[in-house]
Amino acid sequence: MTDKPKKKSSRQKVYTLLVQIGRKEGDGLPKGATGGALMVYASGVDEAEAVRETVAVLKTADVAPLDVTGYGTRDERIAQGHDISDEEDALMQRALEENAVIVAQMTPFFDGEESGEQP
């Protein structure tokens, strides 16, 4: 009987990233927005790779990333006390399976938003 070689386990992990974005023509942000934030799940062998891949993908999509904040892997977030919904967990699993960058949420920013004013 021949043993099949075991499939190597993936070294990829999924990282939760918050990306601050500026304005750029064709960025998909609503009229009047001054920028925005994207909640992203990105796969990588480490967080630095996940950030690099995310920035590269966003740039090819005509988005202007300004700053990226990493919140770690699913396990790291749970250890920090974060609640992770089933929907969020499913998106993380999809990012891992597809070796992808998935934008889970986009929040546009408008002038005066910090003070609670509406445009």
Domain containing residue 74: 13-108
In a domain, 113, yes or no: no
Per-residue model confidence (pLDDT) at position 54: 97
In a domain, 6, yes or no: no
In a domain, 114, yes or no: no
Say if CB 11 and CB 49 are below 8 A apart: no
In a domain, 116, yes or no: no
In single-letter form, the type of residue at position 119 comes to P
Mean pLDDT of the chain: 88
Of the candidates 76, 75, 65, 74, the one whose C-alpha atom is nearest the C-alpha of residue 103 is: 65
In a domain, 119, yes or no: no
The domain total for the chain is: 1
User: What confidence tier does 3 reach under pLDDT thresholds 50, 70, 90?
Assistant: low
In a domain, 117, yes or no: no
Higher pLDDT, 10 or 19: 19
Average pLDDT for residues 31-37, to the nearest whole number?
94
In a domain, 115, yes or no: no
User: What confidence tier does 111 reach under pLDDT thresholds 50, 70, 90?
Assistant: confident
Global confidence as pTM: 0.83
Produce one character per residue of 26-56: b if its CB has 16 or more CB atoms within 10 Å, e if not: ebebeeebebbbbbbbbbbeebeebbebbbe
User: What confidence tier does 9 reach under pLDDT thresholds 50, 70, 90?
Assistant: low
